[in-house]
Structures are given as structure tokens and as C-alpha cells.
Amino acid sequence: MIKFTNILRATALFGLLVSLPLGAAQWTDTIEIRGFASAVYQRTDEKVFFNGDCERTFTNMVPNPCIANPLGSTNGATPENGGINKDGSLRRTRVGLNVNAVVSELATVYTQFTAIEEEDRFNMHLDWGFISVSMDDNNRFRAGKIKMPVGLVNEFQSVGYAFPWIEAPQLFYSTDFGSANVAREAYHGFSYLWEGYSDEWTFSSDLFYGDVGLPGMDLSGMLGYSFKVDWDESVYAQATVYSGKMKYQPRMLEMLNQDHKVQTLGVGGEVSDFLFYAEYAHVSMGSIMPETDVWYASFGYHFGDFTALVTHQSMDKGKGMALVMQNQQTIDSATLRYDVTRNAALKLELSQIGSDVGVGMFAAGAAADIKPADSVSMFGLALDVIF
């Protein structure tokens, strides 16, 4: 059951602390509250979980079988309700709340709380919460748990209404250990953000530093830079690079103190009734660890209240490594979105997941695990709202 009381208590305390120095100012003038929710149902025609909870260890860089969760195991690899399979799942159903407060003319606090379906329960997260201080009209300094500027939709990937798919392309954006490990939604640290404008062009430059948690390890001392250009709020492009040290009990001992480096490049936009997204990332995880290339391309068209979209995703992980360490996976999807009202959208999505080498994001992959089929169909239905 979602603990809405936790959200309300946190919001109330936050509002009280911020309002104290504001004197007689009306809270409605200084605090902005917005919300979003997504009800998501997905199922496959395979019993092995996709994007599941596989607790795996490695011996000499070779994956061992998944460790069954104490809750029990249904397929020898992951616990019941531990991912998406033929029984269907409401995983990723979520409710979120944004609370932003103007502390002064120069300082603003931004937060996002999310209660999300994970495994068999709802867990509450502070997705991000940071202080932004404006030095002038173009320069800002930020500190706290900050939105990570990696990927075109990473900063709002919890808000399903904000993008056309049921989920942001999972091979690129997922934080599952079997994915490309490109980004998390936020990092703990500092950011220097510059924004500039020229006629119909908008430019932004973000220099950031901090730590970020990844599945099976933490990334320490991360230093990155992101540059984004936007033309007439219609077409935009973004390039990002960052690097940090892998620490704190990584899944493989060979990862310890190795460099985790990521470079991404993306372009997207909407012109007339056409929309498009395309992104590429290269990930390296130390001198002796597998490198990964991942990309996706998505093209769609608006006709009235409907949007039709096709997407291809591709991940090549472990290039040059032994075959047991390699994962080559593709996902082809067709999505239909219907804007029911100005703040609610219904989405239907059909996908085909192909595992050419290895098992990618399926919670299996070692010799003792149950293997998924080489080609798996997935059906998804979602209702997204903002309020």
C-alpha cells in the first residue's frame, strides 16, 4: 500500500521550514506543488523475468546463477513479482509529487518524491532535492541530489505523460545491471549551470561533480560536462561526458577502483506533426572490463489526439570479451498514444525483444539459470496523468 502519509508529512515539514523566513508572504506565491501518476501494466510470453531483480555474483568475471530472493523463487532465477513475465506485472506503476519553493529572489529549492511499484511493494524515493542559487540571469549554482543531465529525457523519465512511450527506452535508460548502465535519474553533488539565448536559440552548459549509486556498485568522484542546444523549442541536441571511480562492493571485484566512463549524444524534437528521438552512448568500465555501445531511434506522427510511434533499440555489451560476458539485445516497439484530456494520456505498446547473444536485461544468463527464448513478445498498457 502506498504510504501517502509519508509524502504528506515530508511536504508539510518542507513547507513549514521554507515558509518561516518568508514572513507575511502568501505560501501560494512561494511554493509550487505539482503531481503525476502512471498506472502501468506489462506482460510477456516468457516465464523468465525481463528487467527483473537478479542478485548475481561473478567468479573470474564469469556470471554465477542468480541468487533467489528470500521471498521465494518461481523460475530458479528471480523472486515472484520480480520483473515482467507471462503472468503480467504492474511494476513501474508510480505516483509522484514535485514541490518547489522560492526561498528568496536568488535561491529556489526543487524536490521530487515518488512512490513506485518495485518487486511486490511500493517504495518511496526522493528522486531529487537540491538548492539552486542564481548568480545572475545566465548562471546558477546547484547543490544536493540533482537531476542528472545524461540523456534527452532522463531528467523527467518518471513522468510518463512527458514522453510518448510507456517507458523511456529501457536498453538506454534502465539502471538494471544487465543494461548499458548509462545514467541514473540523479546524483549527489554540485553543478554549475549556464544558460544563454540568441534569437530562437537556447544554449545550456552544465559542469557537474558528485557521487551516484548504480546497481551492484557506487560511482565516486564523478566529473561530467553536458551541453545542450535548442532551436525554437522544436529541435534540440545534447552531448554529455562523465567519468568516475567504481567503488563500494561492486558486483565484480575487477571493477573496484576502475574508471566508469560514459559519452552520450542525442537529438530530438517535433516539427509540424512529426516527432523523433535518437540517442547513442558508449560506456567503458575499466581497462579489463567490457565496453558497451547502446542506441535507439524513435519516429512518430501526431494525428489529432493520437500519436503513433515506432522505436528500435540496440545494445552491444561486452565487446571483445569472452562469449559468456557478452550481451547483444534489441527491442522493436510500436506505440499508440491517445490524449484523453489535456492532462491524461492512454498508451498501448507492443514490443519484440531479441537476444542475439547472452540474455541482456532478462534475469538469467548463467549456465544454471533458466534461459529465455531468443525472441520474446511484450505487451504494455499505461495511463499517465499530470495534476
What mean pLDDT is predicted for residues 190-212? 95
CA atoms within 13 A on the CB side of 255: 26
Q: What is the structure's pLDDT at 9?
A: 46
pLDDT at 107 over 70: yes
Q: What is the structure's pLDDT at 359?
A: 81
Q: pLDDT tens, 34-49?
A: 999 999 999 999 888 8
Mean of the per-residue pLDDT values of the chain: 83
Q: What is the structure's pLDDT at 51?
A: 82
Residue 110's identity, in one-letter code, is Y
Of 24-33, 157-166, 314-323, 342-351, the least confident? 24-33
CA atoms within 13 A on the CB side of 202: 11
- The domain segmentation of the chain, as residue ranges, is 4-386
Of 362, 14, 294, 307, the residue nearest 165 (C-alpha): 307
User: With contact defined as beta carbons under 8 Å apart, do 186 and 222 qualify?
Assistant: no
> For residues 276 and 156, which has the higher predicted lDDT (pLDDT)?
276
Query: What CATH code is assigned to 4-386?
Result: 2.40.160.10
Q: pLDDT tens, 72-105?
A: 444 444 444 468 889 898 888 999 999 999 998 8
DSSP designation for 55: B
> For residues 323 and 239, which has the higher predicted lDDT (pLDDT)?
239
> For residues 15 and 107, which has the higher predicted lDDT (pLDDT)?
107
pLDDT at 186 over 60: yes
Q: CA–CA separation, 374 vs 351, rounded Å?
A: 14
Q: CA–CA separation, 170 vs 179, rounded Å?
A: 8
Query: 250 exposed, middle or buried (CB, 10 Å; 0-12, 13-18, 19+)?
Result: buried
State the pLDDT confidence band at 174, using cuts at 50, 70 and 90.
confident
Residue 255 sits at the vertex; the CA angle it makes with 63 and 218, to the nearest 5 degrees, is 105
State the pLDDT confidence band at 248, using cuts at 50, 70 and 90.
low
Q: Coil, helix or strand for 21?
A: helix
Other beta carbons less than 10 A from residue 170's beta carbon: 25
pLDDT at 155 over 50: yes
Q: What is the structure's pLDDT at 216?
A: 64
What mean pLDDT is predicted for residues 128-156? 94
Q: pLDDT tens, 255-304?
A: 777 888 999 999 999 999 999 999 999 998 876 667 899 999 999 999 99
Interstrand relation of 31-44 and 186-198 (parallel, antiparallel or unpaired): unpaired
Q: What is the structure's pLDDT at 41?
A: 95
Taken in order 367, 296, 47, 51, is the CA torsion positive or negative? positive
Q: pLDDT tens, 4-32?
A: 444 444 444 444 444 445 444 566 678 99
Q: pLDDT tens, 50-79?
A: 887 666 666 666 666 665 444 444 444 444
Q: Coil, helix or strand for 172?
A: helix
Q: What is the structure's pLDDT at 218?
A: 82
Residue 90's identity, in one-letter code, is L
Sequence-ordered list of residues with C-beta below 8 angstroms from that of 341, at least 6 positions apart, any chain: none
> For residues 385 and 1, which has the higher predicted lDDT (pLDDT)?
385
What mean pLDDT is predicted for residues 237-251? 85
> For residues 144 and 123, which has the higher predicted lDDT (pLDDT)?
144
Query: 16 exposed, middle or buried (CB, 10 Å; 0-12, 13-18, 19+)?
Result: exposed
Q: What is the structure's pLDDT at 364?
A: 64
Q: CA–CA separation, 215 vs 55, rounded Å?
A: 10
Q: Can you give the C-alpha Rg of the chain in angstroms?
A: 21
pLDDT at 215 over 90: no
User: With contact defined as beta carbons under 8 Å apart, do 81 and 274 qualify?
Assistant: no
Q: CA–CA separation, 134 vs 223, rounded Å?
A: 22
Of 54-58, 131-135, 342-346, the least confident? 54-58
DSSP designation for 79: B
The predicted model scores a pTM of: 0.85
Q: CA–CA separation, 283 vs 188, rounded Å?
A: 21
* Cα–Cα separations (whole angstroms), residue 12 to 15, 33, 87, 217, 364: 5, 11, 39, 34, 43
